[in-house]
């Protein structure tokens, strides 16, 4: 009996320590900078477009406050803010999004803030989902659901293509590309598995999230195995290529389920995009 009690006590201690350490990891935010290297000549006078990419805020489980987020990004030039879904999944959490949206407004990106939705956002359904979408729009965040916004920058045409969530079968590639003009195609989407279906739909760069880098990778993120072909190809975070085209999978800022991370880190990512190098890119980080 004493031995069993000691074993149970030690096991409980291990669990408590593990949870505490995992929770601390959610505060260890990585800031990544990636820059495109063109394989075709670009305009020597062109300048890089700075895209701040944030994904998977999961406001029920996020360890960075709006003020802390602002301090981490305020000194970086920002032309576009790209938000790739999974803001929250409970109606009562919607007001918690407001101070983060105020941060995005305060950052004043040159060409605006753009967002797509993820599978957790669609848990809201009907009126609560519409409330979330209206809130984003009220704070100058343009939501894209299988549609394109075309921006004329000083260096050329930028198409921001927002593809709706693939995992909940809301993606419509034909509709998303319906109004795309000749220029640089920057795709925003939540579930990166959509790239496996984009052989006939050109993109110069694609930003996504969804996997949280596994969130709990001990020793590997086995729990992701049902989340699509990319996982089975060991593509769960960072930079990858499909058919020669680059796409990036963010580890996200928040967590789902338990507010812990093991073997992964929340991240903020800056992408330097050369609009004049459309159609032919390699990447360095």
What pLDDT was estimated at residue 182? 95
Q: Can you read off the two tokens belonging to residue 105?
A: 């407004």
What pLDDT was estimated at residue 69? 97
Element (H, E) at 217: none
Q: pLDDT confidence of 233, banded at 50, 70, 90?
A: confident
For the segment 120-150, what is each residue's pLDDT rounded down to a tens digit? 999 998 999 999 999 999 999 999 999 999 9
Alpha helices (H) along the chain: 2-25, 66-73, 98-107, 126-138, 173-176, 229-232
Q: What's the number of CA atoms in the CB half-sphere (13 Å) around residue 22?
A: 21
Residue 18 pLDDT > 70: no
Q: Can you read off the two tokens belonging to residue 137?
A: 């729009």
Q: Which of 85, 231, 238, 242 is nearest to 162 (CA)?
A: 85
What pLDDT was estimated at residue 199? 94
Core vs surface per residue 47-63: b (16+ CB within 10 A) or e: ebbbbbbbbbbbbbbbb
Residue 177 pLDDT > 90: yes
Q: Kindly report the pTM of this predicted structure.
A: 0.89
Least confident piece of the model among 10-19, 30-39, 56-65, 170-179: 10-19
What pLDDT was estimated at residue 227? 81
Spacing of C-alpha 116 from chain mean position: 9
Q: Can you read off the two tokens belonging to residue 214?
A: 């596994």
Share of the chain above pLDDT 70, in %: 84
Residue 23 pLDDT > 80: no
Q: Are 281 and 39 in contact (CB under 8 A)?
A: yes
Residue 9 pLDDT > 90: no
């Amino acid at each position: 009996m004493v031995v069993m009690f000691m074993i149970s006590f030690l096991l409980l201690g291990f669990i408590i320590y593990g949870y505490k350490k995992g929770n601390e990891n959610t505060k260890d935010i990585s800031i990544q900078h990636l820059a495109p290297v063109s394989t075709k000549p670009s305009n020597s006078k062109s300048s890089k477009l700075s895209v701040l990419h944030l994904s998977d805020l999961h406001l029920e489980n996020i360890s960075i406050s709006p003020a802390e987020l602002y301090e981490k990004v305020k000194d970086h030039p920002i032309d576009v803010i790209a938000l790739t879904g999974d803001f929250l999944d409970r109606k009562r959490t919607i007001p918690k999004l407001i101070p983060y949206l105020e941060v995005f407004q305060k950052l004043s990106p040159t060409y605006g803030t753009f967002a797509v939705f993820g599978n957790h956002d669609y848990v809201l359904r009907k009126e609560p989902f519409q409330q979330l979408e209206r809130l984003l729009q009220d704070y100058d965040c343009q939501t894209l659901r299988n549609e394109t916004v075309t921006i004329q920058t000083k260096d050329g045409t930028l198409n921001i293509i927002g593809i709706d969530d693939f995992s909940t079968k809301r993606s419509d590639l034909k509709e998303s590309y319906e109004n795309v003009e000749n220029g640089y195609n920057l795709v925003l989407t939540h579930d990166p598995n959509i790239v496996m279906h984009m052989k006939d739909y050109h993109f110069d760069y694609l930003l996504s999230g969804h996997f949280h880098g596994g969130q709990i990778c001990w020793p590997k993120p086995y729990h992701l195995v049902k989340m699509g072909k990319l996982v089975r190809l060991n593509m769960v975070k960072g930079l990858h290529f499909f058919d020669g085209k680059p796409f990036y999978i963010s580890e996200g800022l928040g967590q789902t389920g338990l507010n812990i991370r093991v073997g992964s880190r929340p991240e903020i990512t800056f992408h330097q995009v050369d609009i004049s190098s459309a159609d032919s890119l390699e990447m360095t980080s």
